[in-house]
Chains A and B, each alone.
Chain A
C-alpha cells in the first residue's frame, strides 16, 4: 500500500511527489497522459525529444529538476483514473486502467491509499458563440497543446481570443510553431484590467518572475507586430465546413457586444478560451466539498474536507503553474506527515494574490449570453441549441438541473457536460428564475470512458 498516492503529474502533482518523497513517504503518481509534466510542461514525446525544449517553456529547468528528484517514486503513466469510491472519513479507493488511451484491454489496478493528493488540474472554459462548433475553432489550450507536443500549428492565419493572461503564451507558441497570429483579443476592458494589475504593485514584485514570464510573451507579440486589443471578443465564426471568417466586436464592461462595432476578419483558425474549469470529478466522487465555482475547498495545509485527501494546483483555484507548484509542495509534505516550512507557506500566499488579480481582471461577465442566437449550439455533443434550452425550460417549468438535463439532453453526451456544463447552468439559472440544484453538471461518477469488457474483468486485489 502506498503511503501517498498522487493523481496528476502536472506542476502540482510533481511538486507533491517530490515533497512527499523528501519527507520519507512511499509515493505513487498516476497520470492519464503518456508522460509527466501536465498541461504546463507538455513537451515533445520521448520518441522525438527536443534539443531545445526551453524555447517553449518558462521554467523548464524547474521541470527537469523535479523530474530528476522523482527517483524512488513509482510513476504510472497512461493510467486513467476512472473511479474514486468514496468512504466515510478516509481516502477513496482509486480504480485505474493502464494502457493506450481509450483502449479495450487496459490493465485494471486498484489502490487503497493512506493519503491521497488530487492534482488533476483544470481545463479551459470556452463560452459558446454562433459557429463555435465549426472545425478550425479551437480552445486556446488546444493550440498550446498541439504546438508543444506535436509541433503542429492549428492554422496559418490565427486569431487568439478570450480572457486572461493565458492567451499570451498561446499566441507566443503559435508564432514559434510557424503560424501568423493576426491578433490577440482580450474581453476585459482596460479599466478593469488596469485596476487588477496596478493595484498594490509591491505584490506583483514578489511574484516578479511570473510577471517577467508574461512580459516575455508580450515582447513576442510586439516583435511580430501582433495587435493586442482589450474589451474585444470573437462573437461569431463563419464558414461552411470550416471557419473562414470570424466576427469581432468591442465588448462593454459586461462583455455584451457594443452595437455598430463588429467587423469580419479572415482566418483559418481561431483559438478561444475564457478561463478555466477545475477538473474536479474525482474530488466530487471522493466526497470533497467544492465551492460555488467548482474548486475544491482546502485549508492552509491543502487538506480537503475528507480526512486524508489533499488537493493542490488548479483544482483548488485557478492560479497558474507557480501556485500549483507551491501548493503541491505543501500537500505532499503534509500528506507524508511532515510540516511545511514558513517559506513554503509564504510562496502559496504570494501566488494566491496573483491568482486573485487574474479573476478580478479577467473573470467571465454575464453579457456573453448576448452573443447567442437561437440556433447557437450550447451543448456540442448532443447539439442542443440556446433556443431549445430556453423553450424546454419554459415548457416544463422545472427549476431542476437533473430534470432539465434529461429533457433538453444538454450535458448528457459523451463529454458529460465538461465543455458545456457551466454555460448550461448559467443560462438555465437565468431562464428558470434560479436552479434549485446548481452544480450538478460537475457530478461525473466515472472520470473516463471504460469498456464493458474492462469493467467485467475481475479487478485484482488492492495494492
Chain B
C-alpha cells in the first residue's frame, strides 16, 4: 500500500512513522522544510490539565501513554527534552478559584490526577496573592521541533521517504477516487493521501477537491534570557482553562510560564483570530508580560530576548479531524489540533493508522470523524 502524507509537521511525522511501522510505503511531502511550520512555532506542552472531560481528553491521555515510549525511541538522536515535570494551575481571584475547583473535580472523574496544593511547596517564587492552586503530575513537555524531527527520523528508519521543498498542487483522480497528488516536483500516485498540513489543511483540502474549515488562530510567545532555574513546573493561570475553548476572535492572553532545558523561560501565549497575520505587536507582548508577572512577580526584572509565534490550526467545534473523508475516497485528514497538536500527534497517528489499516481503534473514532454533527453546518458553507 502506498500513502502520501502532506505536511512534515509533528502530525504528519507521527502518522508517517506509524504507517511505515505497519509496512506501508510512505512518502511525506512538505512544500517547505521539515518542522518548519506550526510545530516549530509553539511550545511543547503535553497537557491533560487544560482539558475537560470529553474526546480530546481521551486522545490526550492515550497520547501521554504513547509519549512515554516515544521519548526513548531514538537514543542516538538529539534529545527531545521530554520532561514529566507536572503542571501547576493557579487561580488569583475568588471566582477563578471556584471555577478551577469545579473543573478539577470534573477532570478527576475522567481519570486526571489533580490535587489542590499549597503552591509554594512546588514554586517558592510564586505570587502570594493566589486563591487556589492545583498540581497536575501527569503534565509533561517536549521540545516540539526536535520531537518532530525525531518522529521523521523514526519514520525514515522504518522505510518512509521525506521530501522537502515539494508542494502539493492538486489531485490525481481516478474513477472518482483520489489516486495521488500533483506536486511541484511531478505527479505522485498513492492509494491514500493524508492531509496533515496544520493551519494550511483547508487550503490543501480545497486543492484536492473538498472543503475543510481549518483556520489559523494566532499565538505569540516571549522567550527570556537564560537564568538559574526558578520555575520548576508548567505554571499557568486558571484563565487558560477558559481561553482554550473560546470562540472569541479578540485578543485573549492567559499566562503559561515554563522553563526549558536550556535555562530560558517561555511565556505564552496569546490567542487571536486574524488570519495569517504574523506581525509581532507591542500590545500583545505587554499583555503577556503583565499576566506572567501576576504569577511570578520576580519576572519584572527578567530580560526578554525574543518573541515568536505561529498559527494554531483550529476547527469551529475545537476538535481535531482524524479519519477518512466520506466525500472523496482515498482522502484522509489528520489535522485541526489547535493548541494541542504536539501532545495529540501521538494518538492521532495511532488512530489514523488503525482506521486506515482496518484495525480496532484504541480510542473511539467517531468524535473526530469528518461527518460528525458539530461540523456538518461548516462543511456545507463555502471556504
Contact = CB atoms under 8 A, between A and B. Distances in A.
A450 B32 CA distance: 32
B156 interface: yes
B308 A399 contact: no
A104 B301 contact: yes
Contact of A399 (B77, B165, B281, B306): B165
Nearest to A401: B33
A365 interface: no
A110 B285 CA distance: 15
A446 B76 CA distance: 35
A403 B149 contact: yes
Contacts of A451: 300-304
Interface in B212-234: 222, 224-226
Contacts of B300: 104, 451-453, 456
A398 interface: yes
A399 B35 CA distance: 10
Given A436-B164, A445-B308, A449-B305, A395 B77 contact: yes
A208 interface: no
Interface residues of B, number: 48
A452 B299 CA distance: 6
A153 to B, nearest CB: 31
Contact of A382 (B33, B262, B288): B262
A341 interface: no
Given A392-B78, A451-B301, A407 B149 contact: yes
A395 B77 CA distance: 7
A458 to B, nearest CB: 7
Contact of B286 (A382, A398, A435, A456): A456
A102 interface: yes
Contacts of A406: 35, 40, 143, 145-146
A397 interface: yes
Which of A416, A445, A459 has the largest number of chain B CB atoms within 10 A?
A: A445
A412 interface: yes
Contacts, number: 146
Interface in B275-297: 279-283, 285-286, 288-290, 292-293
Interface in A407-438: 407-409, 412-414, 416, 435-437
B197 interface: no
B243 interface: no
Interface string B128-170: 0000000000000001011011001100100000101100000
A285 interface: yes
Nearest to A443: B308
Nearest to A395: B77
Contact of B306 (A402, A407, A416): A416
Nearest to B280: A445
Given A396-B153, A403-B148, A449-B303, A455 B285 contact: yes
A102 B304 CA distance: 11
A31 B262 CA distance: 32
A99 B279 CA distance: 27
Contact of B35 (A400, A408, A435): A400
Nearest to B220: A445
Contact of A452 (B36, B143, B293): B293
A446 B220 CA distance: 13
Interface string B309-351: 0000000000000000000000000000000000000000000
Contact of B289 (A396, A399, A413, A455): A455
Contacts of B153: 395-397
A305 to B, nearest CB: 16
B301 A95 contact: no
B27 interface: no
A435 B76 CA distance: 24
B35 A402 contact: yes
Contact of B303 (A93, A102, A403, A413): A102
Nearest to A85: B281
Interface of B: 32-36, 40, 76-78, 143, 145-146, 148-149, 152-153, 156, 162, 164-165, 222, 224-226, 262, 267, 279-283, 285-286, 288-290, 292-293, 299-308
Top 7 A-B pairs, shortest CB-CB distance: A400-B33, A453-B300, A455-B289, A406-B145, A403-B35, A456-B290, A396-B149
